[in-house]
Amino acid sequence: MARRKKVRFKDLPKSIRIRKIITWIFAAAGIACLGYFSFYVKQADNTQANYEHLSDLKGTDYNRNKKTLVMHLTKEEDAPDILDDYKTLYNNNKSLIGWVKIDDTLIDYPVMQSQSNEYYLNHNFNQEKDNNGSIFIDSACKIWPRSQNIIMYGHNMKSGKMFGELKKYKQESFMKQHPYIFFDTLYEKGKYQVMYVFGDNVYDEVEVAFKYYQFIDANSEQEWDSAMNDMAGKSLYDTGITAEFGDKIITLSTCDYEKDAERFVVVAKKVS
């Protein structure tokens, strides 16, 4: 039998060459996407395993540090003693300010703070580059003396990590089953009851609007009531929970990919 002559690529008809090139391009893109997805899943799993390890370290005397970590903030001199649960973690990274947890979700993380709101967007507790970032509070907030409102940020990861499961509060039924958010600072434990759940946007600096991400301390009862009314008006449903001037609240904020709003926000009041 005669051996079939191999046809060189350049000798193929133009339409076939184009079809082959397109096939190669899509194949290469598919391999690249698969590689990135595998990397993303591996990084997300590693991040979650690391945070589970950190949770296990609460109340122990383990010291992970073998190098000098960047200190973003320093402990206030007149602040009370750090809770025993968090001494070890604080000694491993002095950017730690507390811990946040919501039952039946992946939200069970240390909470960080730096001098800007950029660093922990892409760094983990170990100060390593990490696309998952960390949960962190606004740089303008204080845990001692405590701000009236502590604003927390976290990525809305598709894996559900960080604040990816915060969106469960879009369903009133979930809120009724999980009305409490547990947030400890370094100095006190806290139980917070959900008040408002809403979507919102990031406004231009000159735009006149209530900007939840700038509401940290009210200068008067009138200013406080105005902020509460604004958030109540945006809320997806009525929880029946309100807060008075002098109460302490937390605001959890993440990106919103499901609706027109740029951010998804849950606000809760300290009840114990």
Cβ neighbours for 201, distance < 8 A, ≥ 6 positions apart:
261, 262, 263
Rounded to 5°, the CA angle 139-145-146 comes to 65
148-166 pLDDT tens trace: 999 999 999 999 999 999 9
Exposed e or buried b for every residue in 135-153, given b needs 16+ CB within 10 A? bbbbeebbbeebbbbbbbb
Higher pLDDT, 226 or 24: 226
Higher pLDDT, 59 or 216: 216
Average pLDDT estimate for 188-214: 96
Work out the mean pLDDT of the chain and round it to a whole number. 87
Q: How far is CA 211 from CA 28, 99, 137, 192, in A?
A: 45, 25, 16, 22
Evaluate whether 50 touches 64 at the Cβ level (below 8 Å): no
Rounded to 5°, the CA angle 197-155-150 comes to 55
Distance of CA 267 to the CA centre of its chain: 14
Instruction: Kindly calculate the radius of gyration of the chain based on its CA atoms and give it in whole angstroms.
Output: 24
Higher pLDDT, 13 or 66: 13
In the structure, what pLDDT confidence band is assigned to residue 67 with cuts at 50, 70 and 90?
very low
CA distance 223 to 144: 22
Cβ neighbours for 118, distance < 8 A, ≥ 6 positions apart:
none
pTM to 2 decimal places: 0.79
| CATH code that applies to domain 43-270 | 2.40.260.10
Instruction: Tell which residue, 46, 241, 13, has the closest CA to residue 161.
Output: 46
Identity at 64, one-letter amino acid code: R
Instruction: Tell which residue, 212, 214, 121, has the closest CA to residue 162.
Output: 121
By DSSP bridging, strand 180-185 and strand 249-255 are unpaired
Evaluate whether 134 touches 99 at the Cβ level (below 8 Å): no
In the structure, what pLDDT confidence band is assigned to residue 135 with cuts at 50, 70 and 90?
very high
